[in-house]
Structure 1
Amino acid sequence: MRTVIVGSGAGGLTTASTIRKYDKDMEIVVITMDRHVAYSPCAIPYVIEGEIKSFEDIIMHTPEDYKKERNIDIITKAKVVDVNSKENKVVYEKDGEKFELDYNYLVLATGGTPFVPPIEGKDLEGVFTVRTVEDGMKIDEYAKKSNSVVVAGAGAIGLEMAYAFKKRGLDVTVVEMAPQVLPRALDPDMAEKVKEYLEKEGIKIILNKPVEKIVGKDKVEGVVVDNKVIEADMVIMATGVRPNIELAKKAGCEIGKWAIKVDEKMQTSIPNIYAVGDCVEVVDFVTKQVTMSPFGTTAVRQGKVAAKNIVGIKAEFNPVLNAMVSKIGDLEIGGVGLSALSANQNGIPIVIGRCKALTRARYYPGGKPIEIKMIFDKDKRVVGCQIVGGERVAERIDAMSIAIFKGVKADELANMEFCYAPPVSMVNEPLALAAEDALEKFD
């Protein structure tokens, strides 16, 4: 029996390792276009910034490690060019040659491809996307001979990269076509606090405007925004990711609204083909609508579910809450579930609870401000939460993920027991205070 996995990201390698955990005899072959495997793309901005010393530090395992420790074969720098789902064969290219491989199970973990708008100058030297370790290494080298950078896109990666460049002494401008930063994660009022912090750090933010074109003869010299030229030596295109679904189409898998359609077992419309990661659609826990969940945490959970079903263990993937967290300088930002904006777009009546507090007892040194926005539906169930603060954001977002998943109501949250010690918390937990604030607003 052989399982072929296309892609060596979090979803693909988790699938491979989980299959091996439960099945010692299955032949497992991973085919990837990458040279490096088992690395964290989310860590790239922190290497650029200098918080992590080198790119080698974010590569956890080598292909040789997988072969020696888990008997998993990884074929690097190879591209799967065709899938014949009727004959259970894949065709891949490596070093200019084509090879054919049979499979009993196929897992598509093809991820996403950076989306670069079709603008003039996008192919100039000095224009980069941020997806792989190789991308990071090239950006790192180019930054050494640059004085200014424009980051197109104000999502988490874009803002993390912007801060990293600022810490390295570059002049930084962020250009975002949406009217706010972090448009997928935060409401405008919470996003404004992030914008204010970045501007205080010396980063210029331009909203509601796209990058119209990139100018330069052979390499980047600037970008045009609102008919004005902003000088720049390099441009980072952090303009989003599109699911890589070409192989799924060739295999004949059903494609949904945006990406590969899978069931709760991570099974595609073809029974022995599974798909995981950024290339698949998921269901939103609150709205029950189809959505995307381009997070490593999602890919890992999907990989475990797919692997268990392949080896005959029943497992299901739950609808998502899209919990996210980011650290930009001294600021932590988190969000989970619905924002007020998305609730309104889905026609869900809401009540909002807010709290401004400190992360430690007010008399204990080092306490940092934290602000919470909590979203409740008409039945008082918590359906979303956003937090911006100096510390302790991630664990609160995790707590709110559990609360939303379990249908916790405002009065339950307000009266819930929380731990307390002056160095790490307030005697009144800010999450409970935000719930109390919401309770006062219900009829």
Structure 2
Amino acid sequence: MKVVIIGGGAAGLTTASTIRKYNKDIEIYVITKEKDIAYSPCAIPYVIEGKIKSFDDIIMHTPKYYKEKKNINILTETEAVDIDSKEQKVKCVKDGEEIILDYDYLVLATGSTPFIPPIDGVNLEGVFTVKNIEDGRKILEYMKKCKRVAVIGAGAIGLEMAYAFKKRGLDVLVVEMAPQILPRFLDPDMAEIVQKYLEDEGIKFILSKPLEKIIGKERVEGICVDKVVYDVDMVILSTGVRPNIELAKKAGVNIGKYAIKVNEKMQTSINNIYAVGDCVEVIDFITKEKTLSPFGSTAVRQGKVAGLNIVGREAKFTPVLNSAVSKIGKLEIAGTGLTAFSANLKRIPVVVGKIKALSRARYYPGGKDLYIKLIFGDNRKILGGQIVGYERVSERIDLISLAIRNGLTVEDLYLGEYCYCPATKMVNEPISLAAEDALTKF
């Protein structure tokens, strides 16, 4: 049996490794346009900042490793250009030469492409996106001759890049068309905590206004926002991504509301074609609506499910909460499930619990501020959570995610059993305190 996987990111490589773990005989080919594989794009801002010394340090494995250790064939700098699903063949191009690969199973892990706003100046020298390691290398080289940078988009990657540039000595301006930063997983009151931290670090913000155009003759010289021109030498477009679905259309698989339509086994409408990662649409755990989940954690989970089903083991991909975490400077930010704002848009009545606590016992050295916000439905069940603090954030957001999936109530979280040690946490777990605050409002 032969499996061809188009895409060498987290979703594609996880699928390949999962297949190999449970079956030593299947022939596996992975096709990728990139030169480098097995790295996390999420690490790019930390290399730019200097926390990680080199882009080479974030490359975990090479094609040679996959061939020698796992017997997985990786075709780098190779583009899949067409799929004949009836003949079960993929047409690829490498160095101008055509390659035809037949398959028994095909996995589409084609990922996503940065969204480029349709404005003047996006093609000027000095305009970058942050999608792959090659983008990172170009940015790191170009910034050496820059003093001022504008980051367009205040999502997690945009803010991580903004902080990285500031630490490298550049003046940084962040432009966000929404009225707050991190609109995807924080409510405005929680986002204000993060914004103040970054402003104290010297980063400037323009909110509620879109980028109108990028100014320059051959290279970036400035940007225009609300008819005001700001002098900058470089622009980072962190304006979201769009799923790559063109190959899927050529294969004849069904496209859903946003991206490739798959079932819980990660199968497309054609039984021997699977799809994983940014190129597929998923179901929201709470609202049951179709959505996107462009996260590495989702890609890995989907790759495991697809791989297990291809080798004949039953596995199902469950709906998402889109749990997310970011570390910007010393600050950790995380969210899962619904925000109060998104619940209000969907006309879901909620009760909110919110507290400011410490990460350790008050008398133990090193304790840091911890802000927790919990969102409960009127049935008393937990629907979402947001945490901003300086330590122990990601573990708590994972706990909240599990609580949502298991239908825990405000009483469950308030009276739950939590461990305690002065050096690691308060005797009253902050999640319990936030739940208590909500409980008083029911």
**Deviation, structure 1 residue 423:** 1.3
Point out the more displaced range, 190-199 or 35-44. 190-199
The within-5 A match list for 1:339-418 is 339-418=339-418
Give the match for residue 310 of structure 2.
310
Is residue 422 from structure 1 mapped to residue 404 from structure 2 by the alignment?
A: no
Counterpart-to-counterpart distance in 1, 2:66 and 2:152: 37
Aligned residues: 442
**1:420 partner amino acid:** Y
**1:412 partner amino acid:** D
**Deviation, structure 1 residue 243:** 0.3
The within-5 A match list for 1:4-403 is 4-403=4-403
**Deviation, structure 1 residue 309:** 0.7
**Deviation, structure 1 residue 226:** 0.7
**2:80 partner amino acid:** V
SS of aligned partner of 2:80: strand
Counterpart-to-counterpart distance in 1, 2:422 and 2:166: 34
**Deviation, structure 1 residue 364:** 1.1
**Deviation, structure 1 residue 343:** 1.0
Point out the more displaced range, 51-60 or 189-198. 189-198
**Deviation, structure 1 residue 315:** 0.5
Q: Can you list the C-alpha shifts for 1:125-178, whole angstroms capped at 9, x where unaligned?
A: 110000111100110011111101000000000000000000000000000011
**2:418 partner amino acid:** F
Structure 1 unaligned runs (5+)?
none
**Deviation, structure 1 residue 352:** 0.4
**Deviation, structure 1 residue 120:** 0.7
CA RMSD of aligned residues (A): 0.6
**Deviation, structure 1 residue 188:** 1.1
**Deviation, structure 1 residue 339:** 0.5
**1:408 partner amino acid:** L
Q: Can you list the C-alpha shifts for 1:333-364, whole angstroms capped at 9, x where unaligned?
A: 00001111111122211100111101111111
Counterpart-to-counterpart distance in 1, 2:411 and 2:308: 39
Counterpart-to-counterpart distance in 1, 2:187 and 2:295: 20
Counterpart-to-counterpart distance in 1, 2:307 and 2:395: 28
Q: Can you list the C-alpha shifts for 1:195-236, whole angstroms capped at 9, x where unaligned?
A: 111111100010011111111111111111111111111100
**Deviation, structure 1 residue 247:** 0.4
Point out the more displaced range, 6-15 or 357-366. 357-366
Q: Can you list the C-alpha shifts for 1:93-119, whole angstroms capped at 9, x where unaligned?
A: 110111111010000000000001011
Counterpart-to-counterpart distance in 1, 2:390 and 2:40: 24
Q: Can you list the C-alpha shifts for 1:289-332, whole angstroms capped at 9, x where unaligned?
A: 11111110100010010011111111000101111000101111
**1:439 partner amino acid:** L
Counterpart-to-counterpart distance in 1, 2:98 and 2:127: 32
SS of aligned partner of 1:144: helix
SS of aligned partner of 2:34: coil
**2:212 partner amino acid:** E
SS of aligned partner of 1:106: strand
Counterpart-to-counterpart distance in 2, 1:412 and 1:197: 33
Counterpart-to-counterpart distance in 2, 1:341 and 1:370: 21
**1:15 partner amino acid:** T
**1:136 partner amino acid:** G
SS of aligned partner of 2:19: helix
Counterpart-to-counterpart distance in 2, 1:287 and 1:211: 32
SS of aligned partner of 1:347: coil
Structure 2 unaligned runs (5+)?
none
- Length-normalised TM-score, structure 2: 0.99
Counterpart-to-counterpart distance in 2, 1:83 and 1:248: 8
- Length-normalised TM-score, structure 1: 0.99
**Deviation, structure 1 residue 417:** 1.0
**1:351 partner amino acid:** V
**1:45 partner amino acid:** P
**1:413 partner amino acid:** L
Counterpart-to-counterpart distance in 2, 1:30 and 1:346: 41
SS of aligned partner of 2:145: coil
Counterpart-to-counterpart distance in 1, 2:375 and 2:168: 38
Counterpart-to-counterpart distance in 2, 1:230 and 1:7: 39
Counterpart-to-counterpart distance in 2, 1:149 and 1:256: 38
Counterpart-to-counterpart distance in 2, 1:305 and 1:386: 28
**2:204 partner amino acid:** K
Counterpart-to-counterpart distance in 1, 2:96 and 2:119: 31
Counterpart-to-counterpart distance in 2, 1:145 and 1:363: 48
Q: Can you list the C-alpha shifts for 1:81-103, whole angstroms capped at 9, x where unaligned?
A: 00111110110111011111101
Counterpart-to-counterpart distance in 2, 1:413 and 1:211: 43
Q: Percent identity?
A: 68
